């Protein structure tokens, strides 16, 4: 349990009220009717490693690729 969440308001929602597709859980929003709906205006969060992935994909020579891979391993 996350102690930071202690004391915050919560809502009990039936599992059957969740959308069947869980790939867009970041966009789920609880509506006043206690149903969970997807809010398509919510942007997808970036991949947590996107900066490192970009560095590897943008490498144009072995030296840049090596530096990007070493930076990835060290972090």
Output the six-digit token pair for 56: 């590897």
Contact 11, 30 (CB under 8 A): yes
Contact 52, 75 (CB under 8 A): yes
Output phi, psi for 28, to 5 deg. -70, 135
The predicted-structure confidence for 9-62, as pLDDT tens digits, reads as follows: 888 888 888 888 888 889 999 888 888 888 989 998 888 888 888 999 999 999
Residue 5 pLDDT grade (very low, low, confident, very high; cuts 50, 70, 90): confident
- pLDDT of amino acid 54: 92
Of residues 37, 26, 71, 24, the one with CA closest to residue 51: 71
Q: Is the pTM of this model over 0.85?
A: no
């Amino acid at each position: 349990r996350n102690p930071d969440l202690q004391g915050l308001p919560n809502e009990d929602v039936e599992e059957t009220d969740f959308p069947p597709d869980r790939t867009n859980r970041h966009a789920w929003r609880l509506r006043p009717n206690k149903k969970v709906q997807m809010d398509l205006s919510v942007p997808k969060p970036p991949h947590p490693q996107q900066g490192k992935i970009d560095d590897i994909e943008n490498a144009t020579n072995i030296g840049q690729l090596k530096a990007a891979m070493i930076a990835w391993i060290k972090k």
